[in-house]
Amino acid sequence: MARVLVHACCGPCSITTMQTLLREGHEVTGLFFNPNIHPLREYLARRQGMVDVAHRLGVKVIYFDREYDPQAWMREIAFREANRCFHCYRIRLERAVSVARRGGFDMVTSTLLYSRKQQHERIAALGSDLCGDGRLRFLYRDFREGWQQGIETSKAWGIYRQQYCGCLYSETERYARELKNAGAQVPQQTAGTPCCAEGTEKQAEQADATPAADNAGR
């Protein structure tokens, strides 16, 4: 049995990921370190989703709330917006690797490997590079295979499901259509990852065909 530290981005993405590792017989510990989630109320909602999933699975999770620093995250991203997701992965995985080394874990991985909306190969390569040839190994699995099961379980358990990836850039991209529907000119979008929440694409299509007022408060 290996001790595995799982960087966890949110509750829904943690379900299949952690269940898979638990089934394989690993000792799983989560690490909730996500300064990319904006604004704070959204962070709190996702954090609660993580708490709920951890309780269901009986998994211990370390919450790095003291390192929730959106300003520091934005300074890291500034002027690198076109490649912002890579740096966002890097910031979170670097911290996870550092915590795993200090904690004497055997392996480290991330729930980012569960999402079909994230840049899977880049995350896998980055995790592997960060671990290098040392004792700590990056645990790669294609957790996307359990995508649908994770969605269904999160809904059955009533876990908070986000509507955009996390940062304000992704929130703007998610709701840009509503600005368009309001008759405004939509600014050119910054390149990045679309929201990883299931149903978002469908909702975005609906938003195109729906008056802006009907979409308020989503």
Annotated binding site for [4Fe-4S] cluster: 9-10, 85, 88
The residues in 184-213 that bind ligand SF4, with binding defined as CB under 6 A, are 192-193
CA distance 190 to 211: 24
List the one residue from 99, 136, 166, 198 that touches ligand SF4 (CB under 6 A): 166
Asked if 14 is part of the footprint of ligand SF4 (rule: CB under 6 A), the reply reads no
Nearer to ligand SF4, 74 or 186 (CB): 74
The residues in 56-85 that bind ligand SF4, with binding defined as CB under 6 A, are 84-85
Residue type, 53: V
Give Cβ neighbours of residue 33 (< 8 Å, ≥ 6 apart). 7, 64, 67, 92, 95, 96, 99
The residues in 89-148 that bind ligand SF4, with binding defined as CB under 6 A, are none
CA distance 149 to 28: 20
CA-to-CA dists, residue 110 to 30, 57, 140, angstroms: 9, 17, 9
Using CB under 6 A, list all residues that contact ligand SF4.
Answer: 36, 84-85, 88, 165-167, 169-170, 192-193
